[in-house]
Structure 1
Amino acid sequence: MKITPTHIEGVAIVDLEPRADDRGFFARTFCREEFEEAGLVPAVEQCNLSFNHVKGTLRGMHMQVDPAPEAKLVRCTAGAVQDIIVDMRPGSPTRLQHVAVELTADNRRALYVPPYFAHGYLTLTDGAEVFYQVSQAYTPGTERGLRYDDPDLALPWAVDVTVVSDKDKSWTLLADGAVVE
């Protein structure tokens, strides 16, 4: 696998390095040693799968804080999504900056999301499915969130949001005192 850092420290794009033959290909999608060598937290405590019926479904922007901050490795296994993460690390020089990546079943790309980053994605196709490896189990009371449409973030969503949960619509805007630490 190929781990490529982004413009925000700690965030990486993970691409496969397939070994192909007449049967198809084989590729490693995760290696604890390679993640540690790249300075990334190996994300393997829990795995989650989400399926989305229609294009325009938004899930996010979520994160967990102390005592259970989580890193994620996110990959689209069917269809396509636009994945966006926002740096929420206290004191970070890139706080409130984002990284946006298109993850598709065809490009087989993954996004590494460090702890203290809000994470969300928007489906670009019907039937999009997303697989997450996470470094912490879901811990009630530690979840925080940002509004996907917060004007202070101005996140560049690729298509119109047509489906979003009441919970994700109800996160407080940054200007109104969103609690994210």
Structure 2
Amino acid sequence: MRRSTMRRIQHTIAGLIAVVLLSITGQVQAQPVPNFSFIDQESGQRVALSELRGDVLYIDFWASWCGPCRQSFPFMNELHARYKDRGFRILAVNVDETLADAQKFLDRIPADFQIVYDHAAALPPVFGVEGMPTAYLVDHRGQIIYTKIGFRLGDREGTEARIVEALTAAGKL
């Protein structure tokens, strides 16, 4: 086997190990969140993510065909209700190709938080999304401090604890 092929295989294996460890631990070295803009549902205005600096953000990538997303939405509704007045925002980024698919999902499982539509699926590669759902916790300084690939009911307490830590560090709790 050629040396370059062997290096590619080693690099791929190392990347897969990192993804597995990340999905198990949720740990991530703080890094700046990629900036993007979206239409705010309430105002109808375009908002740049950088304008939300100061708030703690939970950016969740989801799709209508994603089974675990059906379980994560009630949890995100609970988080939103509990912390929305404390500088916490949820941005759920939908990557369905059609708005109708996303709307069918939302008709069955409503969201009390901000939905952002990305029908061209431009944001997942920018964020490095590896599966659905994938959530990023962004602190008040605009740094990604926690990443969670997938959703399991047993992970709710740990995720909420990280949100509380971020809100406390931001002086919001």
Q: TM-score range by the shorter chain?
A: under 0.3
TM-score (norm 1): 0.25
Greater helix content = 2
TM-score (norm 2): 0.26
Max radius of gyration: which structure? 2
Greater strand content = 1
